[in-house]
A and B are shown apart, each in its own frame.
Chain A
């Protein structure tokens, strides 16, 4: 037990404690040596009749909104698609092994590489997507997928769904293969319709595996950085809370303010995790 506690303290506890401490200071990247304690000013401060600090920054709240929209929509889509594909892959057919391997390809590509790949495919003037859509007559003029503020977040979500659905498929497929076969035998003998089997047998039995898979993805989605940054850099229309924190820390050299933002990122994700765990712990109890 002790080695694990030590390892955790060194690997996670110390950096976290230091970030929290820095968030109460005016440290900058230019001179981390002379640092003064400024209390909660990085979080919220009243100065000359106006409120300042991360919590008073509309851009922060915009980033929170982007992050939540991204997390809910992308994880929702990935779960539904993942479930559908996993169910399909769970029925025996010829070449199933090959298809299973092929499904994993998007997941195997490093995020930065796939993000760059999509950046070119979504490019307004040279992108294959506009080329195909124009050729099919679906659109009459090229669409600037990542430049248009109304479409950019949707584009980021679509790329994430493409990339991360295989992960959901993998986890759900593993869950499906653990299900006891006798329930299905009984259902078949009783002549229950496939839809009913899915709703009454598969879904309740699969619930724990599904809940874990969604938890993994949701925590990942809340701290999304790489995909957003590569596709749209610091653009406000897609900025996530991690991108916001990085911008303060690195672009603006403001370690104090950036640490306050990072601490809030940590708290946001922590609260989301706790809320989610409470939510899913109640459900199986109710249905059982």
Chain B
């Protein structure tokens, strides 16, 4: 009997070694648009090369729900997920659950945009590797602009005027359900991104500065939000107050909007066969205030390895494969994903196939980061408070000045409790 136990123990001790030779690695990819399919192709190419197998776990479309799912799995130390696709604002929140990839990525590290590596380094540990970048872009209907002889808007005022004019003319001509401008107005992370662009392009700051200084209650920020509130029911449908990315793409792709603010992923979907607006769409940098500079919120995904993975080495190898130059180029070609490796932006093949690359390069220059590193673990609270403060103004329940004043008070309290910006390092040491 005792001997039987001993054999069982030995077998158990050996089991991970056996598994490591041909492991099954679970990877979570988001499934917005064609993301899951493209992720599968990449992961399966790696599996073929290494002899491991991969299992794709699709996660909720909404980023905040995905984070909630991760946190529940990670807090329970569940080994169900080996590789996690995480958002650009999450490294600070999840760092304690993630493996340090510095050793694995030593050779590759310097190839990435330095801002992204800085973003993914928490308390000296490289907890994730940048997979693709996103920036907010302006999509426009080139056919409609041409028909009405309007240029691509460079200021928010031009956008408002052009949208109003085209909407009126087209409605009179029979397209009664056409709207001027669709964007993300639901009170969630997407609105934080959109509203941050309005603020920054008006010179209204970025909610909280890098030093932890709360700057949101200022007249320029109020002007920016008031302008956006004036769009609702005039050039944007009231439903925009509950729109996330896919809802706005739905309206734009059905040919029912002149302009759309969205991330780069929408491009290849708008141009896919069967799309009603195929060939009639252009992209540009988002407009700015007359005396401001265009600003695009920096987004994107990182890949990380869970500390509770039973196959960390194989998982890290999958991450390295997926962020490699060759795979990023493939993803850029088939899915329009934007590489995290600057050298790829000079790749002639990529420049030829996608008109986005030139625009994106410019947009990346004016990219604004959300204040996630300044406020660390409090980021979601700050973002939610901001999104809600903006949402009440958009919905006409409050004016911008008083809403921002109340927001500033709320943030000051969070700051006192969280000791920004020091909390970032404290969170990492946990």
Contacts and interface: CB of A to CB of B under 8 A. Distances in A.
Interface string B368-402: 00000000010011001000100110010100000
A47 to B, nearest CB: 7
Contact of A125 (B62, B64, B75, B237): B237
Interface string B178-204: 000000011110000000000000000
Given A28-B377, A50-B413, A253 B241 contact: no
Interface string A225-243: 0000000111111000000
Contacts of B242: 144, 146-147, 232, 235
A148 B238 contact: yes
A152 B256 CA distance: 24
B317 interface: no
A251 B241 contact: no
Contacts of B413: 47, 50, 52
A148 B242 CA distance: 8
A30 B388 CA distance: 24
A233 B75 contact: no
Interface in B228-255: 237-243, 247, 250-251, 254
B6 interface: no
A50 B416 CA distance: 13
Nearest to A149: B395
Contacts of B72: 250
Interface in B36-90: 62, 64, 67-68, 71-72, 75
Given A142-B239, A235-B187, A126 B416 contact: no
A251 B380 contact: yes
B212 interface: no
B243 to A, nearest CB: 8
Given A31-B96, A123-B239, A124-B239, A234 B430 contact: no
Interface string B417-430: 00000000001001
B85 to A, nearest CB: 19
B186 A124 contact: no
A125 B96 contact: no
Nearest to B397: A149
A29 B380 CA distance: 13
B238 A124 contact: yes
Q: For the complex, would chain B's binding face be called helix, strand, loop or mixed by DSSP majority? A: helix
Contacts of A149: 241, 395, 397
A125 B256 contact: yes
B213 interface: no
A165 to B, nearest CB: 26
Contacts of B93: 30, 253
Contact of B238 (A33, A123, A144, A233): A144
Contacts of A142: 177, 237, 239
B424 to A, nearest CB: 12
Nearest to B186: A233
Contact of A30 (B96, B187, B391, B416): B96
A189 B409 CA distance: 73
Nearest to B72: A250
A8 to B, nearest CB: 25
17 contacts: A30-B427, A30-B430, A124-B238, A125-B177, A125-B237, A126-B250, A144-B239, A147-B242, A148-B238, A149-B241, A234-B188, A236-B391, A236-B392, A250-B71, A251-B64, A251-B68, A252-B381
What 10 pairs across the A-B complex have the smallest Cβ distances?
A124-B239, A147-B242, A144-B239, A144-B238, A147-B241, A31-B430, A250-B68, A147-B239, A149-B395, A252-B381
Interface of A: 28-34, 47-48, 50, 52, 123-126, 142-144, 146-149, 232-237, 247, 250-254
